[in-house]
Amino acid sequence: MAKVTPIQTNFTGGEISPKLLGRVDLTKYTTSCKRLENFIVFPHGGVTKRSGTRYIAEVKDSSKTVRLIPFVFSTVQAYVLEFGDYYVRFYRNEGQLLNAAGTAPYEVATPYAHTELADLDFTQSADVLYLFHKDYAPRKLSRTGATSWTLTTLDFQDGPWGKTNVTTTTLTNSGKTGTVTITASSTTGINNNTGFQSTDVGRLVRMEHTAKWGCAKITAVGSTTSVTATVHGNFEFEQATSTTVWRLGEWCDTNGWPKHGSFYQERFFAAGSTTKPNTVWGSVSGDFEVFSPTNRDGEVLDDSGLTLTISSDQVNAIRWMYSARHMQLGTSDGPFLMSSGRDDLALTPTNVKVNRETTDGCSRAKPIGASKATLYVDRNRLKFRELAYAVEVDGYNTPDLTLVAEHITSGFVEEIAYTKTPDSLAWVRLADGEMRCLTYEREQDVVAWSRHILAGTNAVVKSMASIPSQDESEDQLYLLVSRTIDGATVQYVEFMEHQFSQARGDVPADAFYVDSGLTYDGSPVTVLSGLDHLEGETVSVLVDGTTHRNLTVSSGSITLDRAGSVVHVGLPYAALLKTLDPEVQTEEGPSQGKTRRVERVTFRVVDTYGLKTGTDDTNLEEVLFRTPAMPMGSIQLFTGDKRLLLRHSPDRAFELTVKHDVPQPCTLLAIMYSLVVSER
């Protein structure tokens, strides 16, 4: 029989796979957990209970699909956009923007039905958000003021173009400028030999006369061989005559529109239409809406537009674009990098190179940039990968960040968001509406997963977006949450509150650990109203920093047992940590499989109040934090060690459950045990 005192000094392994429960030889085993729920792993090693979510507003129509998209012009001008059924609404500084009269949410009309939002992609340049959808011409959402937004269709000029005509079909333009009629000698070579179609309205036509190119946009289709078009002012036709040298625009309702876009080296890039899923188009350098492949004389210049189709043994549909050191193209068969081939050389139509980095395919989920890496979701939607440069191979690798926690994304990853401040956290939304969080500090070798479940009946997360907070102190995660409230399904826009920190000057009354919550701050009151969004729900209440008994919202209000000046009200949730079976070496060898009895357990905590623990989930013991010196009706957050003599029957397996279920902060740094190991 041996007495040992193991310690778990940190939790930077996060929650690990059940398949690793026997790998006590791994260094990561000693820093990991069997389950980590509603706790966030600090890069320093400890874990802290996640903050609650603060309610902002219900979406326009909770019965329809809604999506959140970030808009960040600067750290002080950041918005979250609520895209719904043919509309977009706006959130800023933790609130919803209202119209000029202050009577209703400010709103802009869009062409997108709620059933089409899943296919909507976006990229941003300064005060303009570019929107892409396979069935619609790309749009620009431009901001000129907090409640001054305009949605317009991009007016692409001189391209991009399909192949130059190789048939004997001629096109004849009736004039050189203004509105002209363009007549084809036959339908051969036009839309797979079917001729012009009504879906060609808005399509461009490029024609060469006497070695000079001109361009026009189709405004009406008269027949399969005749269209009306408007000649572009900067690309006038040289003559009014027939020619066999012509090209039709690539993007239109006939062929489809680009699904993705990004900016790289002063060019606007778009990619992946329905008919050309593996093609990338680049604008003229410095002019985002002009795609001229040559000048009017047919010369290819360094700043000309470019077209590139990924050549490989199969069609690699482009599923996302991300601009970094190189233009990254996420495809169904792995990431490709597009560049000039040299870091000191700008990309031009004559030096563009595309190389496949790995064969680890990509899903449609939009990637995120974290430090010098790009994090993306694997094609099977079960693995989370890191695209990063590796010196040892002089190229990019895509290691699996879920290798030791493959179970954590078993619900299929749908969406990811990133909050880089104060800690580097990648948030993952699963198809079943649960969230996962990856603490990612590659330089410190911290890759730690935790699971996060929001409070409420049938609570699921439908969408996520992150933007800088109003005071620039952190990045805030905004959530679209669906719940059953008072018998009805609702969708609320909420955001996750900042993490409690006394180092920042927070006091116990600032602790916000309820979901879909609101705060009253004013003169002492006992009746709180304005809680209609939680009608009929049992809510957790924190009054001036102390826990109040749970109450039920009736007619949008609750009545407190005692008056309070700062009161937080919301749905209750708990944080849960389950340890792995600790392994210690004794004189007789490893402790695994041997009978052990736990005499006591010690928790090292920071700014914490309230803990429960035990080896049986249904019979947890309370760790006492209140001391006789504390005045009634007040608490003091504790920093230091808390010891508990644990009721534990000898057993061959041991795991400790730690639970925190009060609306107070909790940060756990280490766990120490006193074990008696028997050789029996």
Kindly report, residue by residue over 274-314, the tens digit of the pLDDT. Answer: 999 999 999 999 999 999 999 999 999 999 999 999 987 67
Condensed to tens digits (0 to 9), the pLDDT of residues 584-621 reads 776 677 777 777 778 899 999 999 999 999 988 888 99
- What pLDDT sits at residue 44? 93
Condensed to tens digits (0 to 9), the pLDDT of residues 356-401 reads 989 999 999 999 999 889 999 999 999 999 999 888 777 889 999 9
Condensed to tens digits (0 to 9), the pLDDT of residues 522-531 reads 999 999 999 9
pLDDT at residue 353 greater than cutoff 80: yes
- What pLDDT sits at residue 680? 65
Q: Which residue has the higher pLDDT, 35 or 649?
A: 35
Predicted TM-score of the model (pTM): 0.94
CB atoms within 10 A of CB 392: 6
Q: How far apart are CA 415 and CA 433, in angstroms?
A: 10
- What pLDDT sits at residue 114? 98
Grade residue 546 by pLDDT with cuts at 50, 70 and 90.
very high
Contact 53, 453 (CB under 8 A): no
Closest CA to 565 of 591, 535, 528: 528
pLDDT at residue 245 greater than cutoff 90: yes
- What pLDDT sits at residue 494? 98
- What pLDDT sits at residue 587? 67
Q: Which residues pair with 130 in a beta bridge?
A: 123, 140
pLDDT at residue 29 greater than cutoff 80: yes
How deeply is 491 buried, as exposed, middle or buried, from its count of CB atoms within 10 A (0-12, 13-18, 19+)?
buried
Condensed to tens digits (0 to 9), the pLDDT of residues 197-239 reads 999 999 999 999 999 999 999 999 999 999 999 999 889 999 9
- What pLDDT sits at residue 209? 96
For residues 26-50, average pLDDT: 96
pLDDT at residue 628 greater than cutoff 80: no
- What pLDDT sits at residue 633? 66
Contact 318, 272 (CB under 8 A): yes
Take residue 538 and report the two structure tokens written for it. 């049992």
- What pLDDT sits at residue 1? 65
- What pLDDT sits at residue 651? 76
Condensed to tens digits (0 to 9), the pLDDT of residues 423-459 reads 999 999 999 999 999 999 988 889 999 999 999 999 9
Take residue 401 and report the two structure tokens written for it. 């960040």
- What pLDDT sits at residue 490? 98
pLDDT at residue 648 greater than cutoff 90: no
Q: How far apart are CA 347 and CA 349, in angstroms?
A: 7
Take residue 606 and report the two structure tokens written for it. 């920071």
Q: Where are the domains of the chain?
A: 2-47+575-677, 171-248, 514-571
Residues 6+ apart with CB under 8 A from 539: 514, 531, 550, 551, 552, 553, 558, 569, 570, 571, 572
Condensed to tens digits (0 to 9), the pLDDT of residues 247-273 reads 999 999 999 999 999 999 999 999 999
Condensed to tens digits (0 to 9), the pLDDT of residues 72-93 reads 998 778 999 999 999 999 999 9
DSSP 238-278: S-SSEES-EEEBS-BTTTB--SEEEEETTEEEEE--SS-TT
- What pLDDT sits at residue 189? 96
Q: DSSP state, 393?
A: G
Closest CA to 383 of 395, 369, 366, 400: 400
How deeply is 262 buried, as exposed, middle or buried, from its count of CB atoms within 10 A (0-12, 13-18, 19+)?
buried
Condensed to tens digits (0 to 9), the pLDDT of residues 185-205 reads 999 999 999 999 999 999 999
Q: How far apart are CA 318 and CA 272, in angstroms?
A: 6
Instruction: Give the angle 321-410-119 at the CA atoms, nearest 5°.
Output: 35
CATH ID of 2-47+575-677, from 2.60.120, 1.10.8, 1.20.1070, 1.10.150: 2.60.120
Q: How far apart are CA 481 and CA 79, in angstroms?
A: 18
What number of helices (H) and strands (E) belong to the chain? 0, 55
User: Looking up tokens 């957050």, which residue turns up?
Assistant: 637
Helix (H, G, I), strand (E, B) or coil at 408: helix
Q: DSSP state, 51?
A: P
- What pLDDT sits at residue 443? 86
Contact 408, 436 (CB under 8 A): yes
Q: How far apart are CA 24 and CA 46, in angstroms?
A: 21
Q: How far apart are CA 106 and CA 99, in angstroms?
A: 4
Mean pLDDT over all residues of the chain?
94
